[in-house]
């Protein structure tokens, strides 16, 4: 990938690098329309002047600030905060797996043409330092950088199991509703730094989004409190739900490590089965767009049921795309499976 970055960095020309800056094509269209207004016969000069001024105003706001996102939930967050002042490009794309994503040549060109690139941070994107070097002049924001981290094996929320993730920062901060509210403020400030004229709008959007998240969290707590205390354990395919668990009073028992690609050893599987048996938990949860065979084997060995697959990395699709939909889906799945007799 280093060769790809070296070859692509600096060769793509920016179409737009911020609010109020446009491509030559768009500028030419505005000039042509203005010229037609000026030369239109039989119209009073005062009317023509007004039309030209209106056209200039329209052209000045015609092109929103371009923002690229390296995670589906960062793309969703950018849309919530940016509103009509931003054009967001979700490079991973709806339903994609950010753990497996690496920028392609077309993605690099798109990022070169962006005012901002939003990343999850906390080592979620292992290629990020190389990308920053390749995107000289483009601002890359690690949205989760200032959000308090959980450390595998150190924080009490991790009950079990993979040892190979011990000591690592958990990058899945987006499973915390409070974290996403904080992230909205981070993004609002980053947008305002690039588009100062939109600062009030970005702040208002972030505040409105924060109010919706307050409502979402109250609903989630009202649902999850139905789960008996002894059942508040999440057995999942990989170690992605610790921030969710900490916020809502659960513990996590994971099969794989911080990414789905970290192999599960026979020892890890055996430890997970033993932990599930000891906990008496009634359900285990596969994840969307993953192979559920390992979870099925755990369910068979322990007598637990398979719950509805959870959304781990913001890879929901359709009505389940986006942060709010992900939280609603996961809360419903957990409550339904762990309250059933």
> Do residues 209 and 271 both lie within one domain?
no
> Do residues 73 and 90 both lie within one domain?
yes
Is 228 inside a domain boundary? Answer: yes
Q: Read off the pLDDT of residues 203-257 as tens digits, 9 standing for 90 and up.
A: 999 999 999 999 999 999 999 999 999 899 888 877 789 999 999 999 888 776 5
> Do residues 244 and 326 both lie within one domain?
yes
> Do residues 308 and 328 both lie within one domain?
yes
Range of the domain at 280: 220-339
* Residue 154 pLDDT: 64
The CA distances from residue 70 to 104, 106, 150, 174, 240, in Å, are 12, 13, 21, 14, 18
Of 20, 15, 16, 115, nearest to 59 (Cα)? 20
Distance CA 222, CA 336 (A): 13
Provide the CB-side half-sphere exposure for 165 (13 A, CA). Answer: 33
The tens-digit pLDDT sequence of the chain (341 residues) is 444 444 444 333 333 333 434 333 334 444 444 444 445 455 455 444 544 444 444 445 558 999 999 999 999 999 999 999 999 999 998 878 888 888 999 999 999 999 999 999 998 898 999 999 999 889 999 999 999 998 876 655 655 555 545 667 889 999 999 999 999 999 999 999 999 999 999 999 999 999 999 999 999 999 999 999 989 988 887 778 999 999 999 988 877 654 554 456 777 778 788 888 888 889 999 888 766 787 888 888 888 999 999 998 888 888 898 999 999 999 999 999 999 88
The whole-model pTM stands at 0.79
> Do residues 144 and 75 both lie within one domain?
yes
Of 310, 312, 333, nearest to 224 (Cα)? 333
Residue 75 corresponds to which tokens in the numbers above? 């793309």
Report strand pairing: 283-284 vs 233-236: unpaired
> Do residues 329 and 310 both lie within one domain?
yes
Residue identified by tokens 């200039």 is 56
CATH number at residue 225: 3.40.50.1980
Distance CA 8, CA 64 (A): 25
Q: Read off the pLDDT of residues 60-99 as tens digits, 9 standing for 90 and up.
A: 555 899 999 999 999 999 999 999 999 999 999 887 888 8
Is 160 inside a domain boundary? Answer: no
The number of distinct structural domains making up the chain is 3
């Amino acid at each position: 990938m280093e060769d790809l970055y070296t070859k692509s960095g600096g060769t793509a020309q920016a179409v737009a690098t911020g609010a109020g800056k446009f491509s030559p094509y768009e500028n030419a269209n505005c000039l042509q329309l203005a010229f037609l207004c000026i030369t239109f016969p039989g119209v009073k000069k005062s009317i023509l002047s007004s039309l030209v001024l209106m056209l200039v105003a329209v052209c000045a706001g015609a092109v929103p600030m371009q923002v690229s996102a390296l995670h589906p939930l960062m793309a969703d967050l950018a849309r919530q905060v940016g509103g009509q002042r931003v054009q967001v490009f979700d490079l991973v794309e709806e339903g994609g797996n950010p753990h497996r994503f690496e920028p392609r040549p077309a993605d690099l060109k798109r990022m070169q043409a962006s005012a901002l690139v939003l990343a999850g941070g906390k080592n979620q994107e292992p290629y990020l330092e190389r990308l920053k070097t390749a995107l000289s002049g483009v601002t890359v924001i690690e949205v989760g950088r200032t959000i308090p981290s959980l450390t595998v094996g150190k924080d009490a929320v991790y009950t079990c199991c993979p040892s190979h993730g011990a000591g690592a920062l958990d990058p899945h901060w987006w499973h915390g509703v409070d974290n996403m509210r904080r992230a909205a403020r981070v993004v609002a400030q980053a947008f305002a730094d690039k588009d100062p004229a939109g600062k009030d709008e970005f702040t208002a959007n972030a505040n409105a989004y924060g109010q919706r998240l307050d409502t979402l969290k109250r609903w989630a707590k009202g649902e999850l409190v139905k789960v008996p205390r002894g059942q508040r354990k999440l057995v999942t395919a990989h170690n992605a739900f610790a921030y969710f668990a900490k916020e809502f009073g659960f513990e996590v028992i994971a099969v794989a490590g911080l990414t789905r690609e970290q192999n599960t050893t026979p020892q890890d599987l055996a430890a997970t089965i033993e932990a599930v048996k000891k906990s008496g938990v009634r359900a285990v949860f596969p994840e969307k767009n993953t192979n559920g065979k390992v979870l099925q084997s755990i369910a068979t060995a322990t007598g637990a049921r398979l719950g509805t697959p959870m959304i781990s990395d913001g890879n929901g699709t359709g009505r389940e795309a986006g942060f709010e939909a992900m939280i609603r889906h996961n809360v419903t799945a957990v409550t339904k499976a762990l309250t059933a007799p």
